Amino acid sequence: MIATWVVALLTFVYLGLLFAVARFGDRRADAGRSVITSTVYALAIAVYCTSWTFYGSVGRATTGGFSFLTIYLGPTIMFLFAAVILKMIRVSKTLRLTSIADFIAARYGKSQLLAGLVTVIAVVGIIPYIALQLKAISYSLKILFPDDAQALIPDALESLAFMPDSTAVIAIILAAFTIVFGTRHLDVTERHEGMVLAIAFESVFKLIAFLAVGAYVVWYLNDGFGDLFARAEAIPAIARLLQPESINFGNWFALTLLSGLAILMLPRQFQITVVENVDETHMRRAVWMFPLYLLLINIFVLPIALAGLIQFNGQAFEADTLVLTMPLAEGTNAMAMLAFLGGLSAATGMVIVETIALATMVSNDLVMPILLHGRFDFTTRKDLSGVIMLIRRCTIVFLLFLGYLYFRFAGEAYALVSIGLISFLAVAQFAPSLLGGMYWKEGNRQGAMVGLLLGFAVWLYTALLPSFGKSGWIASDFITQGPWGIDGLAAHGLFGLTTLDPIAHSLFWSLLFNLGGYVIVSMLTRQNANELATASQFVNINSSVSLAPKIWRGTASADSLIELLKRFLGPKQAQSRLQRYAKDRGIGKIGELKADADFVMFAETQLAGTIGSASAHVMVSSVVQEEELGFDEVLNILDEASQVRAHSRELERKSAELEEASRELRAANDKLMEVDRLKDDFMSTVTHELRTPLTSIRAFSEMLHADPEMAEEDRTRFLGIIVGEAERLTRLINQILDFAKLESGRVDWLVEQLDLRELVDETAASLGQLFRTRGADCVITLPEDNLPVLVDVDRDRIKQVIINLLSNAVKFVPEGNGRITVRLSRSNGFAIVAVHDNGPGIPEAYQEIIFERFRQGGNTMTDKPQGTGLGLPISREIIEHFGGKLWVESTTGGTTAAGDEIESGSTFLFTIPLSDA
């Protein structure tokens, strides 16, 4: 049992620390040194993981196996579609949008009605979710102190009537935090850096706490993952949870999709990911770091669930609080305390950000329109900034109070327990109009309104009301039997669809009705010019450069716009922004500003940051006389636009041509550099090859010169070497010249039609002495038909190739029993000459290398060179010049699998196209 004062002290120390972190963040921001790095941003997005993750995932895993993971895989996948998130950020920054309601309303002609509807859906869907967080705090306190509901309340205050329980104390502290750090600026688009830093801190804290509890359960209470899994496998009911058979794949996909949409549509996620984003490039880190966070916080969920199931096998236990009860049951109070603070951290983070986001929506899109349109003499006040701030702060208190009331009166009901996914379903209804609005210009206000209303109605009927029915608040027959006994209208089996679980069922029908309504109505109705302009701005935000609407005409007074700004932003703030605006346009005084389209848009955007885009539009419209555009003007604008488009297409074409030319130039340059490198290689190799025989000649000549008394036998041997090396040198130089001529294309080819049969015979005969010296037999096989094998070639060059191949063969056959075969044949319009020898063969690795300049087979460091290394490259050049090919097929010997010996040898083959005649 943990002492009450310890829990109270640590809870207040933790909350105090939260205040300190937020204060530090705000001070740094005020000093111009932002603390919002890409890492802080990514961690703050993890506000997604609430107490529902901290406690509820383990509970879900005990009954659904891996299904809890869908809630985290969906956001992981959605973050990979970062283009969508980036576009949301860009649109919001450009138009200074403050919430998801503002975003949707701004896209569809700044409709106050639409903004109000989105806000109502969000509030109805999210308030119970806030209540769930308060319940988690209350429940964890109840586990720690089963008999003291006022554990966190000092004894002296317990007797006060307004001190209901410890959860209320925490709710009050959270309200204070949210007011202090969430409403620092009147302009919502000015970031709450302290709050974001505190949320990032909470994310780190809850992750550490959960990992610590996980490690404790896996390695302290058990013998590691393997032990837990092995013990789970031994119990069939638990083992079933670990296999794919436990997964309903339809529900799995539905929940992945649902959570993927929720990560974009939940007001708190929109607040952190979009509104609080200070730099678009921070998304680069968030794309992988946020999914990594989700992975880490989930890695111990299943093991903890298994440990609980094994420990309480067959007995009743509270699965949702295993994270807290397991360390507590073992008497490890420090771990239990860490788990409690982790859960508290997860719950408070969510409550703070969600309340700020909802408060912005409620004050801008519900309260402000009522005040601006209502009977209150609101708009005549000189400075409304204080009133607006007060409204927002009161809204925060009101929302937290609503959440607390819901928790108090529905704390144990099914409606609250199941609210996590039901809330996700509610916000998923924003997806068609939000995503459609960003990518489909034709989507319009009527379509969005009908879609949202239909989706919301289906959600109410298939998700929220059934949860009320299961809580016993209303009759529950309609859930399975349908109203008036009509089966097809059953809330969990609408139109006979009974195969999906309730959440997947509700998601399917609500999104189908929502999307269907949005698309069909948008296609049947038309947008006005203003809506069309905003639609274009949203869809083309990545290429749009200016905010000022091109399709606008009206009369306005700069003074009335300035007055309006001063009233809503406060005189000081308005003055500063107007001065900045004037300075950017090279205007010295604010009084000289002209009320053109640009200035009207500026005023509206500045107001949007404070009272929302819809209210801002209404207020600006009240001082601006906007005129409807005539048909001729619209035609002129279209004409101008088409000219701009044509010009842009022309520019694009020229740019593509330039790119192509520069690509060609780059390729040519690369080729030149390669040729230059080859030339350098060639020069260095030639120099090296020439130096070798020269060195030899010089060395032996010097020896002869230095020793006149040298023995006759040595003298003759040395002179023989000198003559041999001189011959090699001459041959080398001739071949280099020959090769250079071939490469440069300066060879005079004397092409004539000749019979290869004669040429092969004649060439082989000319080398007869060489074969005899080496003791080799040369067999010539010619086509049996005795017909001439006619080709159009340069006689001397082809003879040179055959001599090269035969000389090579002679060099490598074994002395005394060499066998060389020359075979001439025809095939597919080509004459084929094959020179085969029974030499040692060429390893596969060298079979292509030997056709490179100065390259020979074998080890060049140890083997004596057998030629100049230019014969084969020259031969290949010649053959390829006449449209043929030269290659080698060779084997180095060995034995077959059957034990037969394979004879080594090489066959050089070349082809020459036969003459047409």
Contacts to other proteins by CB under 8 A: 66, 69, 73, 76-83, 86, 225-227, 229-230, 233, 242-245, 247, 249, 252-253, 256, 283-285, 287-288, 291-292, 295, 299, 302, 542-543
SS3 (DSSP) at 524: helix
CB of 683 to other proteins, least distance (A): 35
Cα separation, 486 vs 467, in Å, equals 20
Q: Are the beta carbons of 576 and 591 closer than 8 angstroms?
A: no
Closest by CA position to 304, among listed 366, 184, 213, 420: 213
For 557, the enclosing helix (H) or strand (E) is none
Cα separation, 779 vs 419, in Å, equals 94
Closest by CA position to 605, among listed 93, 96, 92, 90: 96
CB of 345 to other proteins, least distance (A): 24
For 433, the enclosing helix (H) or strand (E) is helix 431-439
Cα separation, 878 vs 870, in Å, equals 12
**Length of the chain counted residue by residue:** 917
CB of 422 to other proteins, least distance (A): 23
Strand partners, 780: 822
**Structure token pair of residue 790:** 């006619």
**Structure token pair of residue 118:** 């989105």
| Alpha-carbon torsion, ordered 805, 808, 814, 819, to 10 deg | 10
Cα separation, 877 vs 452, in Å, equals 75
Neighbours of 188 (CB within 10 A): 29
Cα separation, 308 vs 302, in Å, equals 10
Alpha carbons within 13 A on the beta-carbon side of 804: 27
> Radius of gyration over alpha carbons of the chain, in Å?
43
Quick one: how far is CA 596 from the chain centroid? 42
Q: Which positions ≥6 away from 661 have C-beta within 8 Å?
A: none
Q: Quickly tell me which residue has 């703070």 as its tokens.
A: 352
Cα separation, 384 vs 388, in Å, equals 6
Q: Are strands 776-781 and 818-827 parallel, antiparallel or unpaired?
A: parallel
Cα separation, 754 vs 506, in Å, equals 87
**Structure token pair of residue 620:** 């600006």
For 625, the enclosing helix (H) or strand (E) is strand 624-626
CB of 301 to other proteins, least distance (A): 11
CA distances from residue 770 to 141, 514, 721, 766 in whole angstroms, order as listed: 105, 93, 19, 9
Neighbours of 440 (CB within 10 A): 17
Cα separation, 148 vs 686, in Å, equals 97
DSSP, residue by residue, 361-381: HHIIIIIHHHHHHSSS--TT-
CB of 98 to other proteins, least distance (A): 24
Residue 395 identity: T
Cα separation, 180 vs 699, in Å, equals 96
> By C-beta, is 249 or 631 nearer to other proteins?
249
Secondary structure tally for the chain: helices H, strands E = 38, 11
CB of 240 to other proteins, least distance (A): 11
Closest by CA position to 466, among listed 524, 540, 512, 415: 415
CB of 181 to other proteins, least distance (A): 30
Residue 607 identity: L
Cα separation, 677 vs 693, in Å, equals 26
Neighbours of 851 (CB within 10 A): 16
Q: Are the beta carbons of 764 and 806 closer than 8 angstroms?
A: yes
Q: Quickly tell me which residue has 């924003």 as its tokens.
A: 430
> By C-beta, is 253 or 376 nearer to other proteins?
253
> By C-beta, is 80 or 646 nearer to other proteins?
80
